[in-house]
Structure 1
Amino acid sequence: MEKNVASLPSTSSSNLLKFLIPSLFGLFLFIIPLPYGEIFPLEGLSPINIGIGFLAELIKIVAADYLLNIALVVIVTSAVLSVASKFVNIKNEFLKGLLNVSPFWLVCRILGAVFICMVVFGFGPEVIQSELTGQVVLSLLPSLLAIFLVSGFLLPLVVDFGLMDLFGTLVSKSMYMLFKVPGRSAVDALSSWLGDGTLGIMITNTQYKQGFYTAKEAATISVCFSLVSLPFSTVIADQLGLMPLFVPFYGTVCVASLACALIMPRIYPLAKFKNSTYNNVPHLKEELVPEGESVFNFGLNKALTRASAAPSFKDILINGCKTVVDMYLGLLPLVMAWGTLALIVAEFTPFFNVISLPVVYILEFLKIPDATQAAPAILVGFTDMFLPSIMVSGEGISQLTQFIIGALSITQLIYLTETGAVILKSDIPLNLKDLFIIFLTRTIIALPIITLLAKLIIK
């Protein structure tokens, strides 16, 4: 006989409210788009946006005169403290992990600091402070500052109060049949989708080391389910002026990403990995829905259990501060350094134009406008997620092309400044060659799908 919700051990009025109230707020902030631009008629607000997108735009409007200076201070501070950490014994584990980085990442942070100082104060080589390179990357930083701040503190509404547990259980039944991964990987995907791709990879790596995933499953999840988050996607859409089309834009990304997730586990290089566990630890099997209990009731029970153990308001604030500091000091310098270098190569050398010549013919075959300008943007995405949209964001580029490149840049998923770097640092058995092949494979699968949908959306 099927249990009913009232009989579940975790169910109580307090736990139900603790689950429902934050989760509903989370839905409105992270998932459901509303016409904020019409409700609050401020210049600079998108007509329709999700809640965190609206809050980020509001911060950009209110703090417009300060954000570039904040970005300067953050990136320079990151470099100075990272250098200092080599000479000072840091006892705090969080700060030690954040600041005491490898020589490669230290150089990247120093380059980011040098580049932003050159651009802000107007000195140094023209190729760095040019309107086509350093200034373009600098103009992106206010959006990142605002999005990181908002999502860092509000993400617990969907992560820590049971919404992910309920949704993950509801979709888990068909996960292995479709994607060759356990149902619990739905939670990894949601962590990425609602928060940050690196968060999903870190969860995947932890569960791989604990025995929940095999090597093949961990590799598949990290490159198929560590999706670009909604906050990052709003930055791309905003950069290209596509916020009024955000729902179909992100829907296109989801359809293309789904196609990649269906195909890639069945082909090289993911198919080459074995179903062996990390260091031969015992393989922990999938938790099954008990006989006689519905999937919804089981998922709700898990959600209520998560809600009952949710962090306090104080812990949410402390963890939010850590998340924001980590993203500010860890990611912003890389965006400034790698973004500027890649744009220098893209704008002042023929490198991407040369290697993208075959791509021009593919784009012309697909009847995509401005194929010559768009082709380098497709390949430059391997270095950083933001560069493709930056390269096609100028006037004179067709909106259809901007839509396609923006959606493709999100779907490509492997970016050395973020997800790629985290994967290479993890215990997941993927190397640089694997990542590049996966990047190209995702591009080949996604490009025709995105092009078809874009032409249906943009008449």
Structure 2
Amino acid sequence: MSHQDKILDSTGAPGRRYSLKTVLRLFVPSVLGILIFFVPLTLAGRTTIPLDHMVSGARYLLGGLDGWYALVLIVAGAVYPLATGRWRRSVTERIFTVLKLLGVVAAVMALSGWGPALLHTPDMLPFLFDKLVIPVGLIVPIGAIFLALLISYGLLELIGILLQPVMRPIWRTPGKSAIDAVASFVGSYSIGLLITNRVYKAGQYSAREAAIIATGFSTVSVTFMVIVAKTLDLMAVWNLYFWLTLLITFVVTAITVRLPPLARMDDEKPGNEPEVARGRRLTTAWYTGLDAAREAPSLARSVALNFKEGLLMAISILPSIMSVGLIGLLLAKYTPLFDWLGLVFYPVTALWGLDEAMQLAQAASTGFAEMFLPALLMGDTGFVARFTTGVVSVSEVLFFSASIPCILSTTIPISIGRIVVIWFLRVALSLLLAIPTGYAVMALAVNG
């Protein structure tokens, strides 16, 4: 027996023989994937994950061409449903095809400076194009290249078995969905959704599981949370803000999975994670990961497939962000729509006797248009209101300027109507939990 074919199964279980090559195939891509997506690295005085550094580097290399790059993707995204005939599939597809065409117009206006002055204020087209569209247009395709390292060589299956006892009873999702959750928080909701869609298409998530992950875990990244915290002057309590926001986000998800519409979605899928015998979880996880690594396609094939899907997702997302995001921002700034929506949440905010109860309720409702809007509106309020705003901005997960178009661009079968209901539930529950938490943090900060 050659060194390459050395048997690495110390238990002697029949049929469990793996070569050193298979073990390396599990470990090397997985470790590289973890480093790229999850381990912060300091470069040029900036600390973030390597993927974010790569995106920043790509934008730097593009220089003034980054806007033209984004415009090319947006035009491709608007043409794609027309060229493939997807616009004929449903009324929703037709509506979003029109919105994508409008997104091209909005992108041309953002790039050229043409159009009404009110659209060129810093919180309108410049915000959408520079802060959302260009970064997402870079992070999704670049992230997709390295995504193969995380999801194609056994790590997903290994983690899935290990975390099954936690994920399944609390969130009713497979253990492997923990990777989606961490990828969203450390990297980007777009990367989390890319993973979710890829695994769903492979038949490893049911429609309900994919919808739970997309609407419950795929929130904004840590780096964007820092921007929210700075805007709301919460950096003095950053660690408490971060961990409590993480906790509240996932507690809210644990509740919403037990309520309609998520609780009533189809839960059938072709394959399930293996059942684990008592006391055999680590061994089963190890074998399951090695089996997946042994059967995985070549790295070149995995990268090509993931890059293609990432590029298709990027061109689908970007025009929708431009049009839907702009409409949402205009409604928030120039109409009373979100003031009216805020009345729904007022009983929840008033329950705790908060001075800014109505202001907080109305600000929370604007998060449906863009998650950053509440922070802009509540920056000068009291500590509890600011803390609550910071938590709800993240824990609501769903917003029309980016995450909702991202979800609708995937193959996950969840309608806009269901997304709206889930958003209302998430905001109400987040407010209910975040306000008393804000009082507790304020007490700790004062005593500390």
| Fold equivalence (TM over 0.5) | yes
Amino acid of the structure 2 residue aligned with 1:22: P
Contact 2:395-2:426 within 8 A present in 1 as well: yes
Contact 1:10-1:301 within 8 A present in 2 as well: no
- Equivalent residue, structure 2, for 1:105: 96
Match of 2:110 among 101, 114, 119: 119
Contact 2:160-2:175 within 8 A present in 1 as well: yes
Deviation at 1:249, TM superposition (A): 5.6
Match of 1:321 among 290, 307, 324: 307
Amino acid of the structure 2 residue aligned with 1:186: G
Q: Per the alignment, in what secondary structure is the counterpart of residue 221 of structure 2?
A: helix
Amino acid of the structure 2 residue aligned with 1:304: L
- Equivalent residue, structure 1, for 2:274: 287
Deviation at 1:284, TM superposition (A): 6.6
Question: How much is the aligned-residue C-alpha RMSD, in angstroms?
Answer: 4.1
Match of 2:211 among 200, 222, 239: 222
Structure 1 residues 257-296: aligned runs within 5 Å: 257-271=249-263, 273=264, 277=268, 287-290=274-277, 294-296=280-282
Q: Per the alignment, in what secondary structure is the counterpart of residue 175 of structure 2?
A: helix
Contact 2:110-2:125 within 8 A present in 1 as well: yes
Do the aligned partners of residues 223 and 453 (structure 1) sit closer, same or farther apart at CA in structure 2, a change above 3 Å counting?
Answer: same
Q: What are the superposed Cα offsets for residues 30-68 of structure 1, whole Å, 9 maximum, x if unpaired?
A: 22334x14xx33xxx3xx322222332333444342212
- Equivalent residue, structure 1, for 2:126: 135
Do the aligned partners of residues 202 and 372 (structure 1) sit closer, same or farther apart at CA in structure 2, a change above 3 Å counting?
Answer: farther
Contact 1:145-1:328 within 8 A present in 2 as well: yes
- Equivalent residue, structure 2, for 1:73: 72
Q: What are the superposed Cα offsets for residues 232-255 of structure 1, whole Å, 9 maximum, x if unpaired?
A: 514633653669898766544431
Flag structure 2 segments of 5+ consecutive residues without an equivalent. Answer: 1-8, 184-190
Match of 1:412 among 376, 379, 396: 396
1:444 aligns with 2:428: yes
Do the aligned partners of residues 351 and 396 (structure 1) sit closer, same or farther apart at CA in structure 2, a change above 3 Å counting?
Answer: same
Matches of 2:71 and 2:265, distance apart in 1: 46
- Equivalent residue, structure 2, for 1:299: 285
Flag structure 1 segments of 5+ consecutive residues without an equivalent. Answer: 87-94
Do the aligned partners of residues 59 and 319 (structure 1) sit closer, same or farther apart at CA in structure 2, a change above 3 Å counting?
Answer: same
- Equivalent residue, structure 2, for 1:388: 371
Matches of 2:382 and 2:438, distance apart in 1: 10
1:148 aligns with 2:123: no
Matches of 1:256 and 1:404, distance apart in 2: 11
Match of 1:33 among 7, 25, 40: 40
Do the aligned partners of residues 5 and 153 (structure 1) sit closer, same or farther apart at CA in structure 2, a change above 3 Å counting?
Answer: farther
Matches of 1:285 and 1:168, distance apart in 2: 11
Deviation at 1:13, TM superposition (A): 1.3
Deviation at 1:396, TM superposition (A): 4.8
Q: What are the superposed Cα offsets for residues 237-279 of structure 1, whole Å, 9 maximum, x if unpaired?
A: 36536698987665444312331233234344445x388858x
- Equivalent residue, structure 2, for 1:23: 30
Deviation at 1:295, TM superposition (A): 0.6
Once the two structures are overlaid, the 10-residue window that deviates more, 188-197 or 18-27, is 188-197
- Equivalent residue, structure 1, for 2:320: 334
Amino acid of the structure 2 residue aligned with 1:296: L
Matches of 1:52 and 1:147, distance apart in 2: 8
Contact 1:132-1:347 within 8 A present in 2 as well: no
Matches of 1:129 and 1:263, distance apart in 2: 40
Structure 1 residues 415-430: aligned runs within 5 Å: 415=399, 418=403, 422=407, 428=413
Contact 1:160-1:310 within 8 A present in 2 as well: yes
Q: TM-score, normalised by structure 2?
A: 0.76
Matches of 2:368 and 2:33, distance apart in 1: 31
- Equivalent residue, structure 2, for 1:351: 337
- Equivalent residue, structure 1, for 2:186: none
Amino acid of the structure 2 residue aligned with 1:335: I
Do the aligned partners of residues 77 and 435 (structure 1) sit closer, same or farther apart at CA in structure 2, a change above 3 Å counting?
Answer: closer
Deviation at 1:388, TM superposition (A): 1.9
Q: Per the alignment, in what secondary structure is the counterpart of residue 173 of structure 1?
A: helix
Matches of 1:189 and 1:345, distance apart in 2: 36
Deviation at 1:296, TM superposition (A): 0.7
Q: Per the alignment, in what secondary structure is the counterpart of residue 289 of structure 1?
A: coil
Contact 1:19-1:303 within 8 A present in 2 as well: yes
Do the aligned partners of residues 73 and 266 (structure 1) sit closer, same or farther apart at CA in structure 2, a change above 3 Å counting?
Answer: closer
Matches of 1:136 and 1:248, distance apart in 2: 28
Match of 1:13 among 20, 35, 50: 20
Once the two structures are overlaid, the 10-residue window that deviates more, 326-335 or 437-446, is 437-446
Matches of 1:151 and 1:369, distance apart in 2: 44
Contact 1:201-1:419 within 8 A present in 2 as well: no
- Equivalent residue, structure 2, for 1:89: none
